[in-house]
Amino acid sequence: MTGNKALFHNFFHTFGKAVKTADGTLCKIEGHGTVILNKQIALKNVLFVPNLACNLISVSKLSTDLHCSVIFNDRDCTLQALNSKKMIGKASLHNGLYILPTSPKIEISKSFTALGKVDTVMLWHFRLGHPSFQYLGKLFPALFINKRPNSFSCKVCSLAKHTKSSYFPSTYKPSYPFALIHSDIWGPSRVKNADNCKWFITFIDDHSRITWTYLLKDKSETASVFVQFYNMVLTQFGFKIQLFKSDNGSEFFARSLGDFFKEKGIVQISSCVGIPQQNGIAERKNRHLLEVTRSLLFTTNVPKYLWGEALLTATYLINRIPSKVLKFQTPQSIFLQHFPHFKPISSILPLKIFGCTIFIQNIAPNKSKLDPKSLKCVLVGYSSLKKGYKCYHPPSKLFFTTMDITFYEQDSYFTQAEIQGETWSDFQPQQVSPPNLHSQPSELPSCSPLPADLSPVNAPIDSPVVPVTNSPIPTLNTLPENTPTQIDSLQKNTTQTASCLHKKKKTYP
């Protein structure tokens, strides 16, 4: 208890309470608060009794609040911390009482004549170079009697020190599937994938955190892809999307997509401009997807033009890996708890190393009995529509989906030397039969026709004659490029003269 109001670091008024002193006198309590004696001793719930002539400290409350031991002797009293065994205070004996000294900082704060005035607080705030009011309150507690540091504000500090707000991770709150869908678009990629796509869009279920990834050739496909996703959810699972959350990108506010939201009753939520933290789930998911995608490409030296297949494989793997946010459950397991009868086609496929060497069955119709029975390919993922692995044959630039595979997981198809200095023109797939990542390729592999310069030659196997190519043989009517120069030289030296061919004569090659 104390009768000096200037000692309080913070103060709260109290009404209708009293305390009885040792002589039985009732003294009125007008408030309570915290008194800081030094850096290590802070007394909480100190009572303010105006009629009290001296300050009193309860030994039991002191030892309980400070977690210390109180040691008395004939000269002084020592306060020792129980954990560190260090002395945190010392009171000297004077006239039968143990006097605990206060910090010099408290004595300095008493010298101010205008205690607790707002003008004085701002005056020292300006003098000290605009420190925070919380820090100023620790320097001069007497300035903030009956006032809280948070109640002060300075416009100059807002102009000079303004920073972005802190965003703490939101706790996971299970609801039910498709109540809220998070979405974000990434791109454009500097390298097009095998299907000429430069963008991708993700749809994340807030309940299970399961992710759907779609590759886009342009951002304008956002509306059509979302309609496709909405129809899939409604048909396969019988749920309707209620909330759709994205960033402030213009592709999400296209007129066609906005009309679809209004027609289906979907509430669209967007983040503010320049604050990606408000769409943190989708932003963090994109980061996770790209981290796994790069890891898959770097591990087996897969060229960059196959980033689309690596991204779809990363989505496939993340949906099946336990997540810390989900208390180490997989997104797919939480999702399938609501749909026990739904079984993904590709879930029964054993996991293999992305980009490893594989051999698939060669069932080309024009294959002879002396041709190889398999094709050397590279594993590029798992099919979502067929029970098989996605394979890529770089020589023919064709994709296959099959189960007739022999895996060599320790062997990478691509070597480091093969991807050095790669260009898009070297890896661009044939336009005759482009792979479609939205509609999966055929399950059965097939061979592409041989190029023209490798066409078969009709000659006996033991024939010593070298086959001649099909290129046309030049005649006298088709002169080489250097022929005019040779004729000019002959005419200049008068060695030979050019004349017309006789009608009865014939030319020979």
State whether residue 277 is helix, strand or coil: helix
Residues 117 and 110 sit within 8 Å (Cβ to Cβ): no
pTM, two decimal places:
0.54
User: Tell me, what's the pLDDT at 414?
Assistant: 92
Nearest CA to 334 out of 348, 345, 319 is that of 319
Tokens (6 digits) for 461:
């196997």
Q: How far apart are CA 200 and CA 192, in angstroms?
A: 11
Among the residue ranges 228-232, 313-317, 329-333, 459-463, the one predicted with the least confidence is 459-463
Q: How far apart are CA 143 and CA 123, in angstroms?
A: 11
> What single DSSP character describes residue 41?
-
Tokens (6 digits) for 434:
């482009």
Q: How far apart are CA 377 and CA 49, in angstroms?
A: 88
- Name the CATH code of domain 180-338 (choices 3.30.420.10, 1.10.1060.10, 3.40.50.720, 3.90.190.10): 3.30.420.10
Higher pLDDT among residues 186 and 415, named by residue = 186
* The length of the chain, given as a count of residues: 509
Tokens (6 digits) for 377:
């390919």
User: Tell me, what's the pLDDT at 463?
Assistant: 40
Q: How far apart are CA 213 and CA 229, in angstroms?
A: 10
When computed from its CA atoms, the radius of gyration of the chain, rounded to whole angstroms, is: 42
Using alpha carbons, list the distances in angstroms from residue 240 to 180, 243, 255, 342, 488. 10, 9, 21, 17, 85
Over 50: is that where the pLDDT of 106 sits?
no
Q: Which residues contact 298 (CB under 8 A, 6 or more apart)?
A: none
Over 80: is that where the pLDDT of 174 sits?
no
Tokens (6 digits) for 408:
């060599």
Q: How far apart are CA 184 and CA 388, in angstroms?
A: 29
Tokens (6 digits) for 273:
């401009």
The DSSP element (H or E) to which 308 belongs, if any, is helix 307-318
Nearest CA to 297 out of 377, 418, 380 is that of 380
- The model's confidence at residue 166, banded by pLDDT at 50, 70 and 90, is low
- The model's confidence at residue 492, banded by pLDDT at 50, 70 and 90, is low
Residues 80 and 87 sit within 8 Å (Cβ to Cβ): yes
Q: How far apart are CA 11 and CA 28, in angstroms?
A: 16
User: Tell me, what's the pLDDT at 289?
Assistant: 94
- The model's confidence at residue 125, banded by pLDDT at 50, 70 and 90, is confident
Over 60: is that where the pLDDT of 435 sits?
no
